[in-house]
Amino acid sequence: MYYGIAREALNNVVKHARAQNAQMTLRIETGWLHLQIADDGIGLPPHLLPTGQHFGMFGMHERARWIQADLSIERGPEGGTQVHLRWPLPTHGESA
């Protein structure tokens, strides 16, 4: 399900961000999968950040909740938007 979150985040970059660059990072660290997508676009309007009421953002939050992951969407330190997903990897015997 994390790929659906990545797809929506990248779709938002293409459709809305007016970004010149975007970077996606995927890493595994101590039992967690970390996915980060950052762009240098115009950023999200402040009223959308805490609520996630935009349909695409709502879907990303729902997917994260479904897989019991943490999802944050925020303005980057130099503008743009950053999406960070932190998902616990299944332990031995669990299915993903």
Q: pLDDT for 7-52, tens place per residue?
A: 999 999 999 999 999 999 999 999 999 999 999 999 887 766 555 5
pLDDT digits (tens, 9 = 90+) for 55-95: 788 889 999 999 999 999 999 888 899 999 999 987 766 55
Q: What is the pTM of this model?
A: 0.84
What are the residues facing 71 on neighbouring strands? 85
Percent helix, strand and coil across the chain, each rounded to 5? 30, 35, 40
Is the pLDDT confidence value at 53 over 60?
A: no
What's the order of all strands across the beta sheet hosting 81-88?
22-29, 32-39, 81-88, 70-75
User: What residue ranges define each of the domains in the chain, with the CATH number in brackets?
Assistant: 2-88 (3.30.565.10)
End-to-end CA distance of the chain: 9
